[in-house]
Amino acid sequence: MGDKLKGRNAVVTGAGRGIGRAIAIALAEEGANVVVCDIGGAVDGTGGDRTPADQVVEECRKHGVKAIAQYGDVSKFADAEAAVKACVDSSGRIDILCNIAGIDKPKMIWNMSEQEWDQVIAVHLKGTFNFMRCAAPFMREQKFGRIINTTSEAWLGGVTHLNYAAAKGGIVTLTWGGAQELGPSGITVNAICPRAKTRMTDDPKVREMVVKRVEKGLMDASVLKRMDREMVDPSAFAKIAAFLASDDAAMINGQVFLTTAITIARYSKPETVTTAENPTEGPWTLDMIKAAFTPDKLLKGYVNPAPPPKEEKK
Ligand SMILES: NC(=O)c1ccc[n+]([C@@H]2O[C@H](COP(=O)([O-])OP(=O)(O)OC[C@H]3O[C@@H](n4cnc5c(N)ncnc54)[C@H](O)[C@@H]3O)[C@@H](O)[C@H]2O)c1
């Protein structure tokens, strides 16, 4: 056990299983007291069970720290308020907030129901807002705080679950903006973008597909090797969250990190890549706009990510 977070008090959502569990334990190993928040639901957000949160509380306590469970739903503002209050009531402060809870309800957009959209946005995006909103006043008062949000590579446009991808994109924006608003109060806001084997990602069919592609020479064998090294228990990188929560990371703010068992990578913020200026003093005309959308101007270096089939008729 280390002492990098000794005396610090953390709230970790989604801490009953997977990545949240690994991070809660990593924080406890470094001496932090932990509020373990988890509804104990299925991957699709149905059901509830207190056992996972209770078990993680027991595991944290083995490291000699205080740990308590909260079984609320992160998408409900009152439950976020209660979890943050539980942390402050039991330890006097909330120093660390890790927003990890998540669900997945994959569907192509033409099959996605309004409810499937709303529920995924509510758990990921509103849930992250709820806890940031409730923790921020305490952290500002303390002039100290560490917020670690969770995005996903789906943020970059993951198909088959646009509800999830859009929520994860929103979390990146919350992280960038939150860092700007809270940084001057001694609070850092960063996000992790994990790759790990959890019940959310453990699909043997994906590995089988990669094996077949490697066998057919359609994919390099290094892809499979990398996959096998990365799709492991999230405890392999959970200490990255402990680092971001520590005093050593005081100057790391507003960043998004890919976190796997073998890699830590820092994402850039998108920037404009091509520009066209209005050549007149008046409004853009259709002719001027058409002249701007050319391969030497706005479309320089552009590739359509999903062109229609060539034979398709309009
Ligand atoms: N596993 C990966 O490789 C991966 C990749 C990218 C992003 N993520 C993200 O990491 C986070 C953790 O995912 P995981 O893979 O550990 O999944 P997981 O299903 O193992 O764990 C998610 C936990 O969140 C809890 N939870 C879900 N909805 C909740 C709610 N409304 N209120 C409170 N708790 C709730 C669940 O009960 C569960 O314990 C998620 O935000 C997920 O989107 C995971």
Give the pLDDT score at 311. 74
Tokens of 21: 């569990």
Over 90: is that where the pLDDT of 157 sits?
no
Closest CA to 18 of 190, 246, 202: 202
Backbone angles phi, psi at 153, to 5 degrees: -60, -20
- Whether the pLDDT of residue 204 is over 70: the answer is yes
Query: Is residue 158's pLDDT more than 90?
Result: no
For residue 4, name the pLDDT band (cuts at 50, 70, 90). very high
User: What six digits make up the tokens of 150?
Assistant: 């969770």
Q: Residue 76: is its pLDDT beyond 80?
A: yes
pLDDT band at 314 (very low <50, low <70, confident <90, very high): low
Counting Cβ atoms within 10 Å, is residue 294 exposed (0-12), middle (13-18) or buried (19+)?
Answer: exposed
pLDDT computed for residue 313 by the predictor: 62
Domain boundaries, the chain: 9-196+233-266, 198-231, 273-314
Average pLDDT over residues 23-33: 98
Mean residue pLDDT of the chain comes to 96
Architecture of the domain defined by 9-196+233-266: 3-Layer(aba) Sandwich (3.40)
Least confident interval from 23-27, 87-91, 143-147, 202-206: 202-206
**196: CB partners within 8 A, 6+ apart:** 18, 19, 22, 230, 231, 232, 233, 234, 236, 237, 260, 261
CA distance 119 to 112: 11
Distances (CA, A) of 277 to 204, 229, 250, 296, 302: 51, 48, 41, 13, 18
Cα(18) to centroid of ligand 1, in Å?
Answer: 7
Q: 155: Cβ–Cβ under 8 A, 6 or more apart, which residues?
A: 165, 168, 169, 171, 172, 193
pLDDT for the residue numbered 14:
98
Return the bridge partners of 36, or none. Answer: 12, 69
Instruction: Give the pTM.
Output: 0.96
* 45, pLDDT greater than 90: yes
Place of tokens 């100057």: 251
Judge if the beta carbon of residue 238 lies within 6 A of ligand 1.
Answer: no
Q: Is 150 in the pocket of ligand 1 (CB under 6 A)?
A: yes
Tokens of 146: 């560490």
Q: Which pLDDT score, from 0 to 100, does residue 201 have?
A: 94
Alpha-carbon torsion 86, 87, 93, 99, what sign? negative
Q: How far apart are CA 108 and CA 9, in angstroms?
A: 40
Q: Which residues are part of the catalytic machinery?
A: 152, 164, 168
Two tokens, residue 95: 């120093």
261, amino acid identity:
A
- 312 pLDDT exceeds 80? no
pLDDT digits (tens, 9 = 90+) for 78-120: 999 999 999 999 989 999 999 999 999 999 999 999 999 999 9
When pLDDT is cut at 50, 70 and 90, the band that residue 310 belongs to is confident
Q: Which of 12, 39, 195, 262 to mutate to test the pocket of ligand 1 (most atoms within 8 A of CB)?
A: 39
Mean pLDDT computed over 169-174: 98
Q: Distance between CA atoms of 284 and 121, rounded to whole angstroms?
A: 36
User: Distance from the CA of 43 to the center of ligand 1, in angstroms?
Assistant: 7
C-alpha 212 to ligand 1 mean position (Å): 29
